[in-house]
Amino acid sequence: MHDDIPLTTGRARRVLDERILPAVHATATPLDTAWHELPGEPIPPAAGLALEFTPYEVGTTWGAAWGTTWFRLTGTVPDEWAGRRVEAVVDLGFDKNMPGFQCEGLVYRADGTPVKSINPRNQWVLVAEEAVGGETVELFVEAASNPVLLDYHPFLPTQEGDVQTSSSTRLYTSRRMDLAVFESEVHELALDIDVLLELQAELPEGPRRMRILQALDDALDRLDLQHIAATAPEARAALADVLAAPAEASAHTISAVGHAHIDSAWLWPVRETIRKVARTTSTMTELIDQTDDFLYGMSSAQQYAWIKEHRPEVYARVKAAVAAGRFLPIGGMWVESDTVMPTGESIVRQFSQGQRFFEREFGIRPKGVWLPDSFGYSPALPQLMRRAGFEWFFTQKISWNQVNKFPHHTFLWEGIDGSRVFSHFPSMDTYNSRLSGSEVAKASRQFRENRLASGSIAPVGWGDGGGGTTREMTGTAKRLADLEGSAKVRWEHPDTFFDRAKSELPDPPVWVGELYLELHRATLTSQHGTKQGNRRSEQLLIEAELWATTAASRTEFEYPYDELDALWQQVLLQQFHDILPGTSIAWVHREAVAKYAETDRALTAIIDQALSALAGTGDAAVVVNPAPFLQAGAPAQGAVLATDVPEPTAVALTEEDGGYVLANDLVRIVVDAQGLVTSAVDRATGREAIAPGQAANLLQLHQDFPNMWDAWDVDRYYRNRVEDLVSVTGLHGSVDADGVARVVVERAFGDSTVRQELVLAPDSRTLEFDQTTDWHETEKFLKVAFPLDVRAEHTVAETQFGAQKRVTHTNTSWEAAKFETSMHRYVLVSEPGFGVALVNDSIHGFDTTRDAVDGHVTTTVRLSLLRAPRFPDPETDQGVQTHRYGIVIGTDQLGATAAGVVMNAAARVTTGGHGFDPLVQVSGDVVLSSVKLADDRSGDLVVRVYEPSGQRGTGGLVVDGPFGAGAEVTLLEEPLASAGTVDASSFAVDAYEVRTFRFPHN
């Protein structure tokens, strides 16, 4: 017989799109509509319901960018609809291809009860399961006219990303606001045909595919296109047999989890995310009520906290669904944060703040870390996850790699200390699955552990801007539960999936080290002001905890638990993976910088109050050291009177060949007439740090126009065009009253200027660069190069509670792909006997190249300073930006750690009557990370230390305060599951090991 597959599939697709789907709500009557456009920011729902409404005609434009319009919809159910399922259908002017990225609405009843959202893929609202003729309908829609910024031609510069610069033009035109009968058999027929069409497209041309195609033809032959609803049951009957055929016994199993990856800010501000969460969770709880087996998972304690505060009626429904086991708190973090740039303490607080919230609100502790969309994952995470009590890790972002395909889907991930966590990547490579035929087939086909394991996870629902799972998706899942030719689909808690996967893979493959994303590398640099604010806030939080704890232990000072919790939560929110990486709209970053300034003021006030209590009354200058290393003559994390600080020997500064020579007892630096560092010698060994014939502190400007994802990406060809910034407009040197030598270098380039102070202090081997750039470039990338006379096989870059090594060569495609990499406070290059580190106060990106001439190897490290992408914020990094960085001449990993810490935790001077000793002193091979009072407000002392050099050693803690003997605890400050206690005064420590001790309050 003749088989014409395109004829059948083309016929089915056209009938589905043009006849069946419109017939789902074909019997309809218009609702009476009225509206009220708000002039400014959103208002509470109760106020919205009480607004004055004026008549509105469907087809009228509405909604300027970032505006809110309230619609009132009223009508009467026709008598002939009695007993039928009746729905309101509202099309605000949606583009169905852009769910989550445009206008949306939350529907309320007249009494203020939230019903569900409407969005491009979810335009219906249930009015009555069995309508009563003559029944009055009154609904209200809080409609948000968010502008489409990521359009069909994405990444175009736009001023619509901030309410301060957006236009007042109305963006949307409504199409439909009707009361309609829901034809359930038509809806089910549409799902039947859609599932079979997509399934057959993935099948070979064998019997199963041919029988599906024949069944589709048979069904369409029975369907009267002028009487769809009446003939839909007969058409469905023709499809029943092919839909009833069971799946193969060995079919891949997909564990579906309802999902709506709601970015806590991105192409919308935080205030809009609060409403997105309310809209999505309303819809998901409604879908839970309408189904028997659907499970919806949501991470981010912050998002639950938002609806608790702003939409308590929605939150009540969420709590009820959680209690019923259908709405699943997952992830255990405050937000789905970036994991590359935050400090170790921030990651700990992401876990502790998240888990405390979930346990307090729901009596639940999520067992896994759910991070589908962060831009790479630090190798410090496995240890931190395990020490916080997590059992598994989930992401999918590494599937976005540009070059190398990750070799596993279910595996053990090993971190820098040797800790391992059971991990899974969904093999369908998406966190926005709709369970399409192609997605389901891909999940089965490319699952790397098919030999031993039975399945994978699928996060199902419209995401990014929210929306979540639809009834079409749950209907699809029902059909795919056991269908020949398809993977099996079932709604399942991730915990259940991971338990089964562990049993199926008792000896899983292992991936060691960072999960580097071969994409979005420029997120280490974009929006420098946001990154700088985060780094300073992190340090101030740790310092505030230290001094508040010390003061509360020794004086009448009251530890500010509530304020510190609130400040931590604000900083943790801004570590979300589209805020800290610099990939959100201008509005988000404007607010973030302002929040950092507020955080700075609040934490400085706490520090000042605590230090005032500690230093006593008096007007003497007191030097206070917040760092766990000596500086400015003050003890580590203690204070002395300024008069007790010894006078340093001044740094020698001499003019030479139009430049300057700076020298102290440790190093000798030569700065040439162009303001470049041509020599940096360790005086004890005579070793030169700068490569022969080259110069450091070389600012370099690159063209920076990636193929896509402007704020996110830097493509490797950016290196092909570079301008060395060597011209100077000013150069002069001086030595100040403290004996510190300074050389000021001024340059101009393009439309920008830069002023550097090269600073060498007495008794320091760090040449510091204090740089102020007035940046007005477009699509440019600013770096500063340090060609080092070091034959380094690896770079060693600080990460959370330790460091990670990366080779300096590009032997393989995996290594070549890492042309832009991350660090925290330092990156070190070394060879046996000599090392050079670059330290910084707010830089996260760098690159390394390795060059050899006649066997002499130069290792060049370049710090990434500023970018100028045009999307999503066309003003990224524009204006005055400041950086502090330094070159440490002749050091090792511990020395680099110390120099990096000191640069970020500078000594401060207060006034009082006396100094004071540190509350906690450490000994041995560990570094003090934090000193705080316990989260449970018991008054117990919590101290965290870590090994910073990647080698085994010992450590010890001595506490000078009203506390008993310490015992080791988890990162959540709870007793360890393992038996036995560790003597805090003397303990062994492994490479990069993090240890937390709790000392009971006496």
**Active site residues per annotation:** 373
Chain centroid to CA 434: how far? 23
Q: What angle do CA 541, 938, 969 make, to 5 degrees?
A: 75
CA distance 680 to 74: 78
3-state helix, strand, coil in the chain (%, to 5): 30, 30, 40
Would you say 548 and 888 are in contact if contact means Cβ atoms under 8 Å apart?
A: no
Pairing of strands 908-912, 28-30: unpaired
Query: Residue with structure tokens 């839970």?
Result: 288
Exposure string for 76-113, b = 16+ CB within 10 A, e = fewer: ebbeebeebbbbbbbbbbbeeebbbbbbbbbbbeeeee
> What is the enclosing helix (H) or strand (E) of 181?
strand 176-181
Contact of 107 with 89, CB cutoff 8 Å: no
Distance CA 774, CA 777 (A): 9
Q: Letter for the amino acid at 191?
A: L
Q: How far apart are CA 943 and CA 934, in angstroms?
A: 9
Sign of the dihedral defined by the CA atoms of residues 769, 775, 777, 781, in that order? positive
What is residue 814's three-state secondary structure?
Answer: helix
- Let me know: does 360 contact 328? Beta carbons within 8 Å: no
* CB within 8 Å of 445: residues ≥ 6 apart: none
Closest CA to 106 of 267, 291, 317, 378: 317
* Pick from 190, 178, 141: nearest CA to 476: 190
Which of these, 152, 193, 818, lies nearest to 475 by C-alpha position? Answer: 193
Identify which of 392, 394, 380 has the alpha carbon closest to the alpha carbon of residue 339.
Answer: 380
Helix (H, G, I), strand (E, B) or coil at 900: helix
E strand residue ranges, 166-239: 170-173, 176-181
Cα 378-888-684 angle, rounded to 5 deg: 135
Task: Give CA torsion, residues 672, 677, 682, 683, to 10 deg.
Answer: 10
The angle that helices 561-573 and 528-554 make with each other, rounded to 10 degrees, is: 160
- Cα–Cα distance between 543 and 475 in angstroms, integer? 54
From the list 680, 955, 951, 930, the residue with the least C-alpha distance to 805 is: 951
What is the length of the chain? 1002
Looking at the DSSP assignment, which residues form a beta bridge with residue 178? Answer: 30, 89
